[in-house]
Structure 1
């Protein structure tokens, strides 16, 4: 098994509420869990307003499958509607060390 990190950085649309966004992101959990490949997720924002969504997946295939279907899933729509699309950057990387 090759654990894969999905790292997505983005900004919210002007006027989007950070608390409402975090709730909408949390509401995506059933979708992420039903993929069967999510290990854990961390969502953070820095002082400049750059958000990072960091998800650990069981494999690169699981990560890419979820990424391909997230835009069509109804549970993701409220969250996605608050993201400034052109600012979003996604990458996948093989995990070589994980410490808890």
Structure 2
């Protein structure tokens, strides 16, 4: 299997901080750790407030299955209320090289 990255770039709803977004992800993190193929997750915030959320998976199919569950099984997660959904850019891409 080759590694894949799930990359989500988004903005938060006005008034929500990056720290509040991270806190609202507690249940999502628990969910991700239980998912087959999960490797690691990193959440970063750019200087303009853009959030970059990167999850590493064993394969793109592992990432797609998990993403589907976040929108269905985890639909009641508090994280969804922190996101300006009109700004979400989501993709899962295979890793070409690691060092």
- TM-score w.r.t. the length of structure 2 is 0.90
8 Å contact from structure 2 (residues 28, 77) kept in 1: no
Shift of 1:75: 8.0
Larger helix proportion of the pair: 1
| Aligned residue in 1 for 2:7 | 7
What is the aligned residue count?
99
8 Å contact from structure 2 (residues 5, 55) kept in 1: yes
Q: Does 1:51 align with 2:47?
A: no
Show CA shifts across 1:41-69 (max 9, x none): 11001001110000100111100001111
| Aligned residue in 2 for 1:70 | 70
Larger strand proportion of the pair: 2
Structure 1 unaligned segments of length 5 or more: list them: none
Partner SS, residue 96 of structure 1: coil
Show CA shifts across 1:1-41 (max 9, x none): 02110100000001113222111224422100111221011
- TM-score w.r.t. the length of structure 1 is 0.89
